[in-house]
């Protein structure tokens, strides 16, 4: 076979394995707090930054993070994008109603949290808009207990 000569037969091999991830000590505590409608973050005692989602290390300061603080549930949209598509297993699919995905700065946090914003006309989304967390009721002990964000008031 030479370059340029086309292959007619493709072997289609889906590699769809199931993995069982441990969420780890930090996300575990974060999820538990979501069930109580609280968003927990960790604070670095060296640089003072408050990280959400919480994690073990502040990479800049080489510090193991162990001070927990509550942040939110309200925050401010810092960056946003309006989605006209969604991805389904890596394939781009059109959607009827545009979505809003934003980086929200929760009150008291240094990190921006990637969020889905519901209950808002995409035309009206702008930087600086105040939003609040909406939790799942009853909680199901997963990350999805923080369901989405919506405009305040």
Partner 1 sequence: MRNVGIIGVGYTPVFVSKRKDVNLAEMVSESVEAVFRNTGLSPDDIDAITFGNMQTFEGVNLPHLLMSEHIRAVDKPIIRIATGGTTGMSTLQAAYYYVASGIYDVVLAVSWEKQSEGDSQVGLAGIVMPEAMVMVQHGMDLLGGRGMGGMGGGSTGAAAYQAMSYLHHSGADPEHIDKMAALERSNAALNPYAHLRKKTTVEDVQATPFISWPLRYGHTCPTSDGATACIVASEEKAAKLADKVAWIIGVGCCTSDPSTANFIEGQMTDPADQTVCKIAAKKAYEMAGIEDPAKEIDLAELYDGFAHQSLMWLEKLGLCKEGEAHKLLDRGVLNIDGDLPTNPSGGVFSTNAIGSSAMNRATECALQIMRKIEGEHQVPKTVKKALAHGWGGLFQYVTVMILSDTPRKI
Partner 2 sequence: MERKVAVVGYAMTRQASDIGVPRPIMLFELVKGLFDQMGITRDDIDTFVLCSNDFQCGRTISNVFEDTPVGAYMKDETKVEADGVMAVMYGAIRIMSGLYDTALVVGNSLGGSEFRPYLIMDYQLHPAYDRQLGILNEPVTAALQAKAYMEKYKITEDHLNKIAARLLRNAAKNPFALRGKEDATPEYIASSEYLYEPLRELHCYPFTDGACAVVLASDKRAKALTDKPVWIKGFGDSIEGYFLGDRDLSWSRSAKVAADRAYRMAGISNPAKEIDVAEISIKFASQEPIICEALGLFPEGSGAEVADRGLAEIGGEMPVCPSGGGLGAYPFSAMGLIRVAECAKQINGEAGDIQVKDVKTAVAHGQDGFCAQHNAVMVLSSEEG
Considering the rule CB under 8 A, would residue 80 count as an interface residue with partner 2? yes
24 scored as a contact of partner 2 (CB under 8 A): yes
Q: How many chain residues touch Zn ion (CB under 5 A)? A: 5
Contact mark string toward Zn ion, 50..89, x via CB under 5 A: --------x--x----------------------------
Would you count residue 23 as binding Zn ion (CB under 5 A)?
Answer: no
Three-state secondary structure string covering the chain: CCCCCCCCCCCCCCCCCCCCCCCHHHHHHHHHHHCCCCEEEEECCCCCCEECCCCCEECCCCEECCEEEEECCEEEEEEEEEEEEEEECCEEEEEEEEEEEEEEEECCCCCCEEEEECCCCHHHCCCCCEEEEEECCCCCCCHHHEEEEEECC
> Which of 62/88 has CB closer to partner 1?
62
Interface residues with partner 2 (CB under 8 A) are 1-7, 10, 13, 15, 19, 21-24, 27, 49, 51-53, 55, 59-60, 79-85, 87, 89-92, 101, 103, 110-116, 127, 142-144
């Amino acid at each position: 076979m030479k370059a340029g000569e086309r292959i007619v037969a493709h072997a289609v091999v889906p590699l769809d394995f199931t993995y069982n991830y441990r969420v780890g000590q930090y996300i575990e505590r974060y999820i538990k707090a979501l069930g109580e409608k609280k968003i927990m973050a960790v604070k670095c005692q060296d640089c003072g930054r408050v990280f959400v989602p919480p994690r073990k290390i502040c990479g800049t300061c080489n510090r193991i993070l162990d001070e927990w603080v509550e942040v939110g549930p309200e925050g401010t949209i810092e960056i946003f994008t309006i989605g006209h598509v969604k991805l389904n297993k890596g394939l781009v699919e059109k959607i009827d109603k545009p979505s809003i995905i934003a980086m929200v700065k929760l009150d008291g946090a240094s990190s921006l949290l990637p969020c889905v914003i519901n209950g808002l006309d995409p035309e009206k989304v702008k930087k600086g808009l105040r939003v609040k967390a909406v939790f799942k009721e009853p909680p199901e002990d997963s990350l999805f207990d923080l369901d989405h964000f919506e405009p305040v008031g």
